A and B are shown apart, each in its own frame.
Chain A
Amino acid sequence: METGFKLSGKGLVKTYKTGDATIQVLAGATIEVSAGEMVVLLGPSGSGKTTLLHLLAGLEKPDSGSVFVNGTDIYSLSDAKRSRMRREQFGFVFQSFNLLSSMSALENVQIPLWTLGRKNARVLAEEILERVGLAHRIHHRPGQLSGGEQQRVAIARALVTQPKMVFADEPTGNLDRSSASSVMDCLVSAVRDSNAGCLLVTHNMQWAEVADRVLYLVDGRVEVERK
Chain B
Amino acid sequence: MIRMIARLAWWGFTRDRLKVAFMILAVVGGMAAYAVLEPTLNHVSATSMQIWRTEAPWDISVKGTGVHSLVKSLRSISGIAAYEEAFLFDAILPRGQMTLLALKGQCEPGGGATPMLSLECVEGRAPSAQNEIALTQGLAETLGLAVGDTVSLLPMDGEGEPVPFTVSGILAAKIRVPVFPVVTREGASSVQPDLAKSECLLVALDGRVDIAKVASALRKLAPEAEVVTLEEQYKGISTGFSYADAVGSAAQVVTMIVAIAALTSLFFLGERTKSYQIGVLKAVGVPSSWLVLSSAVEGVMTLSAGCVLGWVLVTQFYSVAVPSSLPSVVPGLKDILRVLVPGGAAGILTASALVVSRPASSLLRDW
Collect the chain B residues with CB atoms within 8 Å of residue A57's CB: 283
Assess whether B284 is in contact with A111, with CB atoms less than 8 Å apart: yes
Assess whether B282 is in contact with A83, with CB atoms less than 8 Å apart: yes
29 contacts between A and B (CB under 8 A): A60-B360, A60-B361, A60-B362, A80-B287, A83-B282, A84-B285, A86-B283, A87-B284, A87-B285, A87-B286, A92-B284, A94-B280, A94-B364, A96-B276, A98-B279, A98-B283, A98-B364, A98-B367, A100-B281, A101-B277, A102-B15, A102-B16, A103-B11, A111-B281, A111-B284, A115-B4, A115-B286, A116-B285, A157-B284
Assess whether B286 is in contact with A83, with CB atoms less than 8 Å apart: yes
- Report B1-51 residues with CB < 8 Å from chain A CB: 1, 3-4, 7, 11, 15-16
Q: Is the interface of B mostly helix, strand, loop or mixed?
A: helix
Contact of B287 among A79, A96, A99 (CB under 8 A): A79
Residue B193 interfacial (CB < 8 Å): no
Collect the chain A residues with CB atoms within 8 Å of residue B281's CB: 100, 111
Collect the chain B residues with CB atoms within 8 Å of residue A51's CB: 361
Assess whether A79 is in contact with B288, with CB atoms less than 8 Å apart: yes
Assess whether B288 is in contact with A102, with CB atoms less than 8 Å apart: no
Residue B109 interfacial (CB < 8 Å): no
Collect the chain A residues with CB atoms within 8 Å of residue B279's CB: 98
Instruction: Tell me the complex Cα distance, A80–B7, Å.
Output: 20
Contact with A along B122-144 (1 / 0, CB 8 A): 00000000000000000000000
Size of B's binding interface in residues, CB under 8 A: 26
- Shortest Cβ-Cβ A-B pairs, 4 listed: A87-B285, A102-B15, A60-B361, A86-B285
Contact of A114 among B7, B277, B367 (CB under 8 A): B7
Contact with A along B279-306 (1 / 0, CB 8 A): 1111111111100000000000000000
Collect the chain B residues with CB atoms within 8 Å of residue A85's CB: 285
Contact with A along B195-227 (1 / 0, CB 8 A): 000000000000000000000000000000000
Question: Min CB distance, B360 to chain A, in Å?
Answer: 4
Known: A90-B285, A98-B367, A115-B284. 14 other contacts (CB 8 A): A54-B360, A54-B361, A59-B359, A60-B362, A79-B287, A80-B289, A84-B287, A87-B285, A94-B367, A98-B364, A99-B280, A111-B281, A114-B4, A114-B7
Assess whether B7 is in contact with A100, with CB atoms less than 8 Å apart: no
Assess whether B287 is in contact with A83, with CB atoms less than 8 Å apart: yes
Size of A's binding interface in residues, CB under 8 A: 32
Assess whether B276 is in contact with A60, with CB atoms less than 8 Å apart: no
- Report B311-362 residues with CB < 8 Å from chain A CB: 359-362
Residue A197 interfacial (CB < 8 Å): no
Assess whether B288 is in contact with A98, with CB atoms less than 8 Å apart: no
Instruction: Tell me the complex Cα distance, A61–B281, Å.
Output: 18
Query: What is the chain B residue whose CB lies nearest that of A78?
Result: B287
Question: Min CB distance, A98 to chain B, in Å?
Answer: 5
Assess whether B367 is in contact with A92, with CB atoms less than 8 Å apart: no
Contact A112:B284 (CB < 8 A) given known A94-B364, A100-B277, A102-B11: yes
Query: What is the chain B residue whose CB lies nearest that of A92?
Result: B283
Collect the chain B residues with CB atoms within 8 Å of residue A157's CB: 284
Query: What is the chain A residue whose CB lies nearest that of B276?
Result: A98
Collect the chain A residues with CB atoms within 8 Å of residue B3's CB: 114
Query: What is the chain B residue whose CB lies nearest that of A79?
Result: B288
Collect the chain B residues with CB atoms within 8 Å of residue A115's CB: 4, 284-286
Instruction: Tell me the complex Cα distance, A153–B364, Å.
Output: 18
Residue A88 interfacial (CB < 8 Å): yes
Collect the chain A residues with CB atoms within 8 Å of residue B276's CB: 96, 98
Contact with A along B250-286 (1 / 0, CB 8 A): 0000000000000000000000000011011111111
Instruction: Tell me the complex Cα distance, A96–B364, Å.
Output: 9
Question: Min CB distance, A8 to chain B, in Å?
Answer: 19
Instruction: Tell me the complex Cα distance, A29–B135, Å.
Output: 101
- Report A180-224 residues with CB < 8 Å from chain B CB: none
Collect the chain A residues with CB atoms within 8 Å of residue B288's CB: 79, 83
Contact of B367 among A90, A96, A112 (CB under 8 A): A96
Instruction: Tell me the complex Cα distance, A60–B288, Å.
Output: 14
Assess whether B364 is in contact with A112, with CB atoms less than 8 Å apart: no
Instruction: Tell me the complex Cα distance, A59–B276, Å.
Output: 13
Query: What is the chain B residue whose CB lies nearest that of A85?
Result: B285
- Interface hub of B16, B280, B281 (most chain A Cβ within 10 A): B280
- Report A102-140 residues with CB < 8 Å from chain B CB: 102-103, 111-112, 114-117
Contact A60:B285 (CB < 8 A) given known A96-B367, A103-B11, A114-B3: no
